[in-house]
């Protein structure tokens, strides 16, 4: 069905009730059909990799997303109270919820756990006029109890296959390692505040702000160069080897070695062409402890997917397990597909089977016809003949 265009003059005061609050939107018609197709294809890939779908509540306790967990800043959360006075939030991100589920139901389990999810996430963005959605659709996967580089590679390969399944072709996964930056900070013995400020500057690629900060704190040239030289990103995995020679500590060396072996496994998967390496890639989520990645494509200003390794997040919920995950942001992905003019095939529209209104025999014949179409897996709608014209008329007036 195609949505009817509203004639604004007909409605008067009631019109105020028809639009949604800023940053929230309806999804109907062809757009909804495309969204279902995309979610279906990505969901299929996750199923084929053995990921079990789960559902978590939209509303969680505030503490699941608290500052210590290292997710979304408190002021960007929708918060409210229950009758006992507990602070509740609308989830801004699924990963802490899935970690909570794993810790609740699978504590003690040592075999790898694979989960996938889909649903809405909520951000209370400060400004109204930045055109950002406050409810976004996310679909993602988490692999727990697997510390190896093969788990990292599986997640990235799954992400690449998922994006390809939607028809997207030109995209790039930028991969970094959260440990590299932390390693450099330890080498330079940076305070927590300086580290946070530097993280902010570097994640904005604002290298002169980073340099000013280091200069003003009295760090010498060699430290500054180290932070600023890793700024340039790398075309491919081979260039990582070059950096190994200048690695100043065990931590940074291990971070680089991890990326080098990851590149090797991604080659085995045959997806290495879709990735590049970027050591200045940092996440706003502080829970990432190793490999982190973001997917970029044309036609949208924000990443269409993001993820990484979070080996300490589960311990917050009492389960000590390494984990890695990826999330696809469906709204920017759909925007990118639309702008790149990539058709997303949707199931064909239902066939119309009409019958003479008031004529029982005609209804019976048509009903049988519709039933047989439905039995063949084809969509069919029954429509009374005499009313079909009238109906179109009323649809416009209502």
Select 303 or 322, whichever has its Cβ closest to other proteins: 303
Tell me the backbone φ, ψ of residue 240, rounded to 5 degrees: -65, -35
Rounded CA gap, 180 and 271, in Å?
A: 24
- The least distance separating other proteins from the CB of residue 207, rounded to whole angstroms, comes to 7
Select 192 or 361, whichever has its Cβ closest to other proteins: 192
Rounded CA gap, 166 and 334, in Å?
A: 9
Alpha helices (runs of H) in the chain, residue ranges in sequence order: 29-48, 95-105, 149-165, 178-188, 192-203, 207-216, 221-229, 238-244, 250-269, 330-339, 360-375, 385-397
- The least distance separating other proteins from the CB of residue 296, rounded to whole angstroms, comes to 4
**Which residues, in sequence order, are bridge partners of residue 60?**
89
Sign of the dihedral defined by the CA atoms of residues 178, 182, 187, 190, in that order: positive
Query: What per-residue string of b and e applies to 307-334 under the rule 16 or more CB within 10 Å gives b?
Result: bbbbbbbbebbebebbbbbbbbbbbbbb
Determine the interface stretch with other proteins among 8-16, 21-29, 106-114, 231-239 (rule: CB under 8 A): 231-239
Q: From the list 277, 297, 325, 380, which residue makes contact with other proteins (rule: CB under 8 A)?
A: 297
Is 108 a residue that touches other proteins (CB under 8 A)?
Answer: no
Query: Which residues from 237-296 bind other proteins, rule CB under 8 A?
Result: 276, 278, 296
Select 107 or 242, whichever has its Cβ closest to other proteins: 242
Is 224 a residue that touches other proteins (CB under 8 A)?
Answer: no
Q: From the list 23, 112, 119, 299, which residue makes contact with other proteins (rule: CB under 8 A)?
A: 299
Output the six-digit token pair for 38.
């995309």
Output the six-digit token pair for 330.
């469906």
Determine the interface stretch with other proteins among 6-14, 71-79, 229-237, 312-320 (rule: CB under 8 A): 229-237
Is 382 a residue that touches other proteins (CB under 8 A)?
Answer: no
- The least distance separating other proteins from the CB of residue 302, rounded to whole angstroms, comes to 7
Query: Which residues from 114-173 bind other proteins, rule CB under 8 A?
Result: 130-131, 170, 172
**Which residues, in sequence order, are bridge partners of residue 204?**
none
Select 72 or 103, whichever has its Cβ closest to other proteins: 72
Q: How many CB atoms lie within 10 A of CB 15?
A: 12
Total of chain residues touching other proteins, rule CB under 8 A: 24
The three-state secondary structure class of 334 is: helix
- The least distance separating other proteins from the CB of residue 141, rounded to whole angstroms, comes to 22
Select 167 or 248, whichever has its Cβ closest to other proteins: 167
- Helices and strands, counts by H and E, the chain: 12, 13
- The least distance separating other proteins from the CB of residue 98, rounded to whole angstroms, comes to 26
- The least distance separating other proteins from the CB of residue 247, rounded to whole angstroms, comes to 23
Interacting residue ranges for other proteins, rule: CB under 8 A? 130-131, 170, 172, 174, 204-209, 232-233, 235, 276, 278, 296-303
């Amino acid at each position: 069905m195609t949505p009817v265009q509203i004639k604004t003059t007909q409605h008067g005061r009631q019109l105020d009730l028809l639009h949604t609050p800023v940053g929230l939107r309806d999804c109907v018609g062809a757009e909804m059909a495309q969204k279902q197709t995309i979610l279906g294809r990505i969901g299929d890939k996750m199923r084929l990799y053995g990921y079990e779908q789960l559902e978590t509540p939209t509303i969680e306790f505030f503490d699941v997303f608290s500052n210590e967990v290292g997710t979304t800043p408190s002021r960007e959360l929708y918060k409210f109270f229950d009758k006992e006075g507990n602070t509740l939030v609308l989830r801004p991100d699924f990963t802490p919820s899935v970690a909570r589920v794993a810790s609740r139901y699978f504590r003690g389990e040592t075999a790898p756990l694979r989960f996938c999810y889909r649903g809405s996430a909520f951000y209370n963005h400060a400004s109204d006029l930045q055109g950002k959605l406050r409810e976004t659709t996310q679909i993602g996967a988490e692999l727990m109890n697997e510390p190896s580089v093969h788990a990292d590679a599986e997640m990235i390969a799954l992400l690449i296959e998922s994006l390809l399944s939607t028809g997207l072709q030109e995209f790039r996964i930028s991969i970094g390692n959260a440990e590299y930056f932390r390693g450099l900070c330890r080498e330079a013995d940076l305070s927590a505040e300086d580290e946070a400020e530097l993280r902010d500057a570097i994640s904005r690629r604002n290298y002169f702000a980073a340099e000013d900060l280091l200069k003003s704190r009295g760090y010498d040239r060699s430290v500054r160069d180290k932070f600023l030289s890793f700024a340039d990103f790398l075309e491919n995995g081979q260039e990582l080897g070059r950096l190994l020679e200048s690695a100043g500590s065990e931590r940074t060396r291990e971070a680089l070695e991890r990326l080098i072996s990851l590149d090797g496994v991604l080659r085995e998967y045959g997806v290495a062409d879709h990735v590049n390496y970027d050591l200045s890639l940092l996440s706003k989520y502080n829970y990432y402890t190793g490999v982190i990645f973001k997917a970029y494509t044309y036609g949208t200003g924000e990443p269409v997917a993001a993820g990484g390794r979070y080996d300490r997040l589960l311990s917050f919920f009492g389960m000590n397990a390494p984990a890695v995950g990826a999330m696809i942001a469906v709204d920017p992905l759909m925007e990118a597909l639309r702008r790149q003019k990539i058709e997303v095939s949707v199931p064909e529209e239902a066939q119309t089977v009409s019958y003479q209104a008031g004529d029982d025999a005609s209804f019976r014949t048509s009903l049988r016809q519709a039933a047989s179409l439905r039995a063949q897996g084809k969509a069919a709608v029954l429509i009374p003949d005499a009313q079909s014209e009238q109906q179109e008329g009323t649809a416009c007036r209502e």
